[in-house]
Amino acid sequence: MIEQFRNAGYTVVDFTEPADICVINSCTVTARTDAETRRLIRRARRLNPEARIVATGCYAQVSPDDLSRMPEVDVVLGNMEKLDSTVLAQAAEDRVGDVAVETEIPPLSLTSFAEHTRAFLQVQNGCNTFCSYCIVPFARGRSRSVVPAEVLSGIRRLVDNGFREVVLTGIHLGAYGLDLSPASSLEELIRRILAETGLQRLRIGSVDPNEFSAELIALCADSPAICHHFHIPLQSGCDSVLQRMGRPYDSSFFSDLLNRLINAMPDAFIGSDIIAGFPGETDQEFEATCALIEALPFADLHVFPYSKRPKTKAATMPGHLNPVIINQRAAHLRARAARKKKQFLERAIGRELMVLGQQYDESAGIVRGISREYIQAEFPGTSKDINVEQRLMVTALREGRAVCRNPAG
């Protein structure tokens, strides 16, 4: 959207600065993000009493009436309509199309956004899975992939512009290519990226456990360019809850996958998502999740307190838990996650990491960067170390970061 506005001659300013148009691009993954959107809209209106306030994104797509009712909002636009800056700037009335009928990603939605040294490239959008708790298929529509040729030329452009690392992202990345004709796959796309783009570091976004194939594991283990950092959503460690969630795997499948991954890449950082307090989750079911987490080699967990989303199957299930219990369980899981992360980082002490320099702190004479295993690192350096990847030895930990030095020095 920023790029569209800039191309149309607009100047994009910070949220707190005076503006003619304020676009609030919303998320609706939990009730909390909905509330945050409403708060931001009110704030935008206070900061810019005369501006045109546009509400768009996933919350606008799924619950346009919620936003349309707000006196601060001038116009509500859906996820397809937001791709056009003329519509964003001029549409006189609400427009929210049916994302469920979208079968293609328009060419512009090979979207990328960049930090200084890493670019994030969205190659897939939407999802067909309809897990019982999840609003995403309603907000983003069916799974659509960007054709491989376009992904490859996008990555070549990023490489030519000096990016060392590209992160492949998608809403349901494991479904990449299945909608294309001829059909493709994530494995095939990765193989072509490695062979045809000259990219130095490729990081793969979240892939569901049932889609993390043996071929993908072998590809990641064998390729020097693929970062050993994986995000594989578990959601629950209890089979009966997984079944109610509509997730197509069980806990033993997941354990087996993680063990195979770690056998192939012992240094891998494995992150996951867990939902605490799914409807009907008993103490025993919650304990099963805790036990599985303890047993598996996770480096990090994103814990989500269950949030009832309209239209989803879980919203009408019996046994919704008291929010106090949901939050207690989430806090318990987060404490476990913090312990797992600490253990993972402690194991890195004495090891060598390939660190990409990202930020130079001149006053401290320190460069901060990120390793292939997604470990935040710092080392003595200068501005010349920015956007350079180097092999460094971890000597200690400081505030969750690996303190490194040159292994020769």
Interacting residues toward ligand SF4 by CB under 6 A = 127, 129-131, 134, 136-137, 171-172, 208
Tokens for 62?
């799924």
Torsion of Cα atoms, 180 then 185 then 186 then 192, to 10°: -90
CA torsion through residues 368, 370, 374, 377, sign? negative
CB atoms within 10 A of CB 252: 10
Minimum distance from residue 127 beta carbon to ligand SF4 (Å): 3
Minimum distance from residue 245 beta carbon to ligand SF4 (Å): 8
Minimum distance from residue 140 beta carbon to ligand SF4 (Å): 8
Q: Which is nearer to ligand SF4, 129 or 327 (CB)?
A: 129
Q: Which is nearer to ligand SF4, 170 or 369 (CB)?
A: 170
Minimum distance from residue 172 beta carbon to ligand SF4 (Å): 5
Tokens for 342?
């600490």
- Please report the beta strands in 160-278, taking only residues with DSSP state E, as ranges in sequence order: 165-170, 201-204, 229-231, 269-276
Tokens for 81?
């309509």
Q: Which is nearer to ligand SF4, 135 or 167 (CB)?
A: 135
Minimum distance from residue 200 beta carbon to ligand SF4 (Å): 29
Q: Which is nearer to ligand SF4, 172 or 228 (CB)?
A: 172
Minimum distance from residue 310 beta carbon to ligand SF4 (Å): 15
DSSP summary character for residue 321: P
Minimum distance from residue 191 beta carbon to ligand SF4 (Å): 24
Minimum distance from residue 165 beta carbon to ligand SF4 (Å): 24
Could you give the CA distance from residue 75 to residue 67 in angstroms, rounded to a whole number? 9
Q: Which is nearer to ligand SF4, 144 or 201 (CB)?
A: 144
Owner of token pair 């490695």? 194
DSSP summary character for residue 305: E
CA nearest neighbour of 136 among 148, 126, 149, 122: 126
Please report, for residues 57, 186, 210, 244, the alpha-carbon distance to residue 253 in angstroms, rounded to integers and kept in the order given.
35, 20, 8, 17
| Distant-in-sequence, close-in-space partners of 403: CB < 8 Å, separation ≥ 6 | 377, 378, 379, 394, 395, 396, 397
Q: Which is nearer to ligand SF4, 212 or 344 (CB)?
A: 212
CA angle 268, 270, 273 (to 5 degrees): 175
Beta strand 352-361 with 366-371 is: antiparallel
Q: Which is nearer to ligand SF4, 164 or 231 (CB)?
A: 231
Contact status, residue 270 vs residue 258, Cβ threshold 8 Å: yes
Q: Which is nearer to ligand SF4, 136 or 296 (CB)?
A: 136
Tell me, rounded to whole angstroms, the distance of Cα 38 from its chain centroid.
22
